[in-house]
């Protein structure tokens, strides 16, 4: 879920960069030195997971997992996502440097939203069914939020992008559904395998 180079207007690119920098700053503040190896490991895991293709009907798609990152990383999702996107930009030459800020916001803002809205419920969830529900909501919110930010970036760029924004939202509805199911499965797996990951306030911060 990212926007390519060369599409957005300068104010959108610049604004995205500034807001993302602020988010990364908050995220880094919430980390202490001891947390760095763990957060880095999570970043690497999410990067690796984003390379996995899962079939969705006739096509296959990559996982985004920003909702899950929100649940597990809290505010450090910001630096973590920034790094994952930088690595993607460098290694695979995806959406590159100028859109890095906007693309970070697209994934990280919903992640932090998930952290604020859903983490308390996850900590209170006592049954597998509830964990599944919270997980599904995290997946849905992560992608829906991302779609909203993409649409916003297009719309702020200008009228010429309205059609593209619509196309983006429509083509990402399958992603939304798959991520919902997938995040629910992930969270319930982690809840059973390593409950401390889920129960602590947020694992890293």
Partner 1 sequence: MTSLLLLKVDSVIGNIDPRARLVSGFLFSVLLAVAQKWEVIAAGFLSAFLFCAAARLPWSGLRVRLIGLNVFMLALLLVMPWSVPGSVLWNIGNWTYTIEGVELALMVAVKGNAIVLAMSVFISTIDTASLGHALEHLRAPRRLVHLFLFTVRYLDILHHESRRLFRAARARGFAPRTDLHTYRTVSRLIGTIMVRSLDRSERVLAAMKARGYCGRFYLLHHFSLRMSDALFIMTVSVFVAVLAWMEWG
Partner 2 sequence: MSEVLFKLNELTVRYGNEPPVLRNLSMDLVKGSRIGLVGRNGSGKSTLLSALVGLMDDFDGELWAFGKWRRDDSDFAEVRRRAGLLFEDPDDQLFNITVSEDVAFGPFNLGWPRERVITAVRDTLARLDLSGYEERITYRLSTGEKRMVSIATVLAMDPEVLLLDEPTAGLDHRHTRLLEEILKQSSKTLLVVSHDRDFLASVTNQTIQLENGQAVYL
The encoded tokens of residue 30 equal: 């919430």
Tokens 């760095």 correspond to 36
CA-based nearest residue to 138, from 115, 108, 163: 115
Tell me which of 19, 45, 117, 156 binds partner 1, using CB under 8 A. 45
- β-pairing, 53-56 vs 59-62, is antiparallel
What residue 117 binds from partner 1, partner 2, none (CB within 5 to 8 A, per partner kind)?
none
The encoded tokens of residue 86 equal: 């930088």
- Interaction of residue 167 with partner 1, rule CB under 8 A: yes
Q: Which distant-in-sequence residues (6+ apart) come within 8 Å of 129 by Cβ?
A: none
CB 145 within 8 A of CB 70: no
Residue number with CB closer to partner 1 (129 or 167) = 167
- Interaction of residue 189 with partner 2, rule CB under 8 A: yes
Region binding partner 1 by CB under 8 A among candidate stretches 97-105, 111-119, 126-134, 140-148: 97-105
Residue ranges in contact with partner 1 by CB under 8 A: 4-8, 10, 13, 24-25, 28, 31, 33-34, 36-45, 47-49, 51-57, 60, 63, 79-80, 82-84, 86-87, 89-94, 96-99, 159-164, 166-167, 178, 181-182, 185-186, 189-190, 193-194, 197
């Amino acid at each position: 879920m990212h926007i390519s180079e060369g599409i957005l207007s300068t104010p959108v690119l610049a604004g995205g960069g500034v807001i993302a920098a602020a988010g990364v700053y908050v995220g880094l503040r919430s980390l202490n030195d001891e947390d760095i190896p763990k957060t880095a490991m999570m970043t690497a895991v999410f990067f690796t997971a984003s390379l996995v293709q899962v079939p969705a009907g006739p096509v296959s798609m990559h996982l985004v997992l920003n909702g899950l990152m929100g649940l597990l990383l809290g505010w450090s999702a910001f630096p973590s996502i920034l790094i994952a996107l930088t690595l993607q930009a460098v290694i695979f030459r995806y959406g590159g440097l100028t859109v890095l800020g906007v693309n970070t916001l697209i994934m990280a803002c919903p992640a932090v939203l998930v952290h604020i809205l859903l983490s308390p419920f996850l900590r209170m969830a006592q049954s597998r069914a509830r964990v599944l529900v919270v997980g599904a909501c995290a997946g849905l919110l992560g992608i829906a939020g991302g779609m909203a930010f993409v649409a916003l970036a297009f719309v702020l760029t200008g009228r010429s992008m309205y059609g593209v924004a619509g196309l983006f939202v429509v083509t990402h509805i399958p992603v939304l559904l798959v991520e919902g199911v997938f995040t629910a499965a992930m969270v319930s797996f982690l809840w059973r395998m390593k409950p401390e990951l889920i129960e602590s306030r947020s694992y890293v911060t």
